[in-house]
Amino acid sequence: MNFFHLALVLLPLSFICPPVGSCIEQERLTLLRFLAELSPPHDNGLAASWRNRTDCCTWEGIICDVDGAVTEILLASRGLEGRISSSLSELTSLSRLNLSYNSLSGGLPPELIFSGSIVVLDVSFNCLGGELQEVDSSSSDWPLQVLNISSNLFTGAFPSTTWEKMSNLVAINASNNSFTGHIPSSFCISSLSFAALDLCYNQFSGEIPAGIGKCSALRMLKAGHNNITGALPDDLFHATSLEYLSFPNNGLQGTIKLVIKLSNLVFLDLGGEQFQWQGPRIYRRAQETGGASHGP
């Protein structure tokens, strides 16, 4: 199952559109500020759609609620260029922001990650870069559940304390970037529902943190094609909800004897690693061939 599809399956069915009201004037101006930071003429027709109508609830890619407040911005694959305006965080009812598959550049405004309303944030497949900022608040009430920043140009250390403040977090996809340093273990410190993590194709180093094993709801863990070393921590095999485990093409080694504890595991990929196996033959065969194994 595609990572993001899995993440959406894990969410409650909360995005059912109610009858639409007329646009709130302040929110119309906020959307126009977002439009102004795009690079004309690369707004791909948005300017014509948005500026020729006064009611922003009728604008392309905009969904409002019955009170006329913007609840969703869905502008994937529109050929957009330019920067993402932090003004979008002023839309206090915005729950879903999808700007994926465009050519947006610059950084990702932290105000969007730490928004008081955004539940799903998808900016995957763009040209965004720089470092992600750590949260500077003691609050743990951020509503964010799904964050997809995959296939961008992000660099630097991956945030750690940020995830400690996310009590509603369900899934993160940060694959295909250039993050460095250690993988944090703080994803489920506050959130008991954290279920999916994809960090493959980065430049993470060090060992796999033992704390990830405390994620009792974790179903998918992918961190292949990095520079991770050492052994798989025994603690990892306490995450018995795991269905998909993938760490190929790192520098892992050691002995594995606890895979059998992962009774829900249906996919395992440790290709290219130097493990000595003490477990079911199906897993030994996967290691020997350098490929993936489908479990029972």
Q: Mind listing the pLDDT tens digit for each residue in 233-269?
A: 888 888 889 999 999 999 888 777 656 678 898 998 8
Beta-carbon contacts of 64 under 8 Å, excluding residues fewer than 6 positions away, are 20, 21, 23, 56, 57, 70, 71
**Sequence-separated (6 or more) residues with CB below 8 Å from residue 12:** none
Q: Which pLDDT value is given to residue 44?
A: 62
Of 36-40, 107-111, 195-199, 291-295, give the lowest mean pLDDT range: 291-295
Q: Which domain holds residue 37?
A: 3-294
pLDDT digits (tens, 9 = 90+) for 3-43: 656 665 556 544 545 445 688 999 999 999 999 999 876 55
191 closest CA partner among 258, 260, 141, 250: 141
**Average pLDDT over all residues of the chain:** 84
Report, as an integer, the average pLDDT of 148-154. Answer: 98
pLDDT band at residue 285 under the 50/70/90 scheme: very low
Vertex 217, ends 213 and 223: CA angle to 5°?
55
pLDDT at 280 exceeding the cut of 90: no
pTM, 2 dp: 0.86
What is residue 50's predicted lDDT score, i.e. its pLDDT?
87
Higher pLDDT, 295 or 160: 160
Digit-coded pLDDT (tens) for 113-147: 999 999 999 999 999 999 998 876 666 678 999 99
pLDDT at 271: 79
Residue 254's pLDDT is: 75
* pLDDT of res. 237: 83
Query: Residue range 159-170: average pLDDT?
Result: 90
CATH number of the domain within which 226 lies:
3.80.10.10
Q: How many domains does the chain have?
A: 1
pLDDT at residue 156, rounded to an integer: 96
> Which 3-state string (H, E, C) describes the chain?
CCHHHHHHHCCCCCCCCCCCCCCCHHHHHHHHHHHHCECCCCCCCHHHHHHCCCCHHHCCCEEECCCCCEEEEECCCCCCEEECCHHHHHCCCCCEEECCCCEEECCCCHHHHCCCCCCEEECCCCCCEECCCCCCCCCCECCCCEEECCCCEEEEECCCHHHHCECCCCEEECCCCEEEECCCCCCCCCCCCCCEEECCCCEEEECCCHHHHHCCCCCEEECCCCEEEECCCHHHHHCCCCCEEECCCCEEEEEECCHHHCCCCCEEECCCCEEEECCCHHHHHHHHHCCEEECC
Residue 175: both structure tokens together: 């694959």
C-alpha span between 101 and 246 (Å, rounded): 25
> Residue 30 has what pLDDT?
95
